[in-house]
Amino acid sequence: MKVLVTGASGLLGRAVAAELLSAGHEVRCFQRRPSGVAGASDSLGSVADPDAVARAVSGQDAVVHLAAKVSLAGDPADFDRVNVGGTRNLLDAARTAGIARFVYVSSPSVAHAGTSIVGDDALPADPLRARGDYARTKAEAELLALAADSDSFRVVAVRPHLVWGPGDTQLVERVVERARQGRLPLLDNGAALIDTIYIDNAASAIAAALARVDSVHGNSYVLTNGEPRPVAELLAGICAAAGVESPRWRVPASVARTAGSLIEAVWRVKPGVDEPPMTRFLAEQLSTAHWFDQRRTRADLEWTPAVSLDEGFRRLAAHYGAERGAAGV
């Protein structure tokens, strides 16, 4: 099968492209810069450009759509243009090109309203209650994608939760850098249970969704390792792998949420050069439980994660050890 993978310059996109190649598919990657995926071809451009999207989907049998603007802050119009407009462009172009299979890679944040999620399945995407522009626009895009589902254009949405692994700059590197600088607090006592998913597992699950799309289309699935751990334990595992001290100081969650709201307000007026140090959404994520029932996901996709969290931490430690060795440290 000829498969277009969008966003393949990112960690998960590259892993998905490599997973599909290993399964024997012919892969074309579509993003703004070269993907670097050996064995895949590149079609460069933005999902916000309808002409570039039309060129990218030409001749393909399926689309796996990962490209998105991922940030805790930024101009709302940019999130709308890329996450909603880009998804609409891909859906329109794919249907025009006669493509029959479409996997939309969403986020569990589309159904997170700031309170704990304890053993739920994939709750409905809700843009009105979503926290922040990323979650809002991902929710709108998921609804767009599923609304396009039909017997001739089969769409499935998957929501990998907190993907991490070697080379991850979205979660792991930010945790490590903030811990190294002493700027990584535990909210309350760090006891909230949180699900995550190791990068290899996320890629294999997305490939499984594509393989099973004919029978599971029209549905949304949350993807996790199925091993919820306390926030403090997860952060400690990442920090230990990188050889930095785990967070020791604690901040009440209520204080962090208030501070996050204030920082967001300042960031809108005078954005910093990096992500804001705290937002209300981030404070909620670090202080409320969010773990998910994986029984339907595993049964429907005929998939189980191959890499445990403990094995993932060992692989992460080996990655950082190799980096230190290469640097002569």
**Rounded to an integer, what distance in angstroms lies between the CA atom of residue 72 and that of residue 267?**
10
Q: How many CA atoms lie within 13 A of 70 on its CB side?
A: 16
Instruction: Give the rounded distance of the alpha carbon of 50 from its chain centre.
Output: 24
**Rounded to an integer, what distance in angstroms lies between the CA atom of residue 284 and that of residue 159?**
19
Report pLDDT for 106. Answer: 96
pTM of the predicted model as reported, rounded to 2 decimal places: 0.91
Kindly state the helix (H) or strand (E) to which residue 99 belongs, with its residue range: none
Which residues on neighbouring strands pair with residue 275, listed in sequence order?
none
**pLDDT tens by residue, 254-268:** 655 665 556 555 556
**pLDDT tens by residue, 113-140:** 777 788 889 989 999 988 788 899 999 9
Active site positions, annotated: 134
Instruction: Write b or e for each residue in 256-278: b if 16 or more Cβ atoms lie within 10 A of its Cβ, otherwise e.
Output: bbebbeebbeebeeeeeeeebeb
Q: Where are the domains of the chain?
A: 2-163+197-224+292-307
> What are the angstrom distances between the C-alpha of 321 and each of 242, 256, 326?
8, 33, 9
Task: Give the residues of the chain that fall short of pLDDT 70.
Answer: 72-73, 251-287, 324-329
User: What's the alpha-carbon Rg for the chain, to the nearest Å?
Assistant: 19
**Rounded to an integer, what distance in angstroms lies between the CA atom of residue 18 and that of residue 1?**
14
Q: How many CA atoms lie within 13 A of 222 on its CB side?
A: 26
Angle of helix 172-180 relative to helix 231-242, nearest 10 degrees? 80
Report pLDDT for 266. Answer: 57
**CATH code linked to domain 2-163+197-224+292-307:** 3.40.50.720
Q: Which residue has the tokens 């460069």?
A: 44
**pLDDT tens by residue, 197-213:** 999 999 999 999 999 99
User: The tokens of 211 are what?
Assistant: 């393989």
Report pLDDT for 130. Answer: 83
Kindly state the helix (H) or strand (E) to which residue 255 belongs, with its residue range: helix 253-269
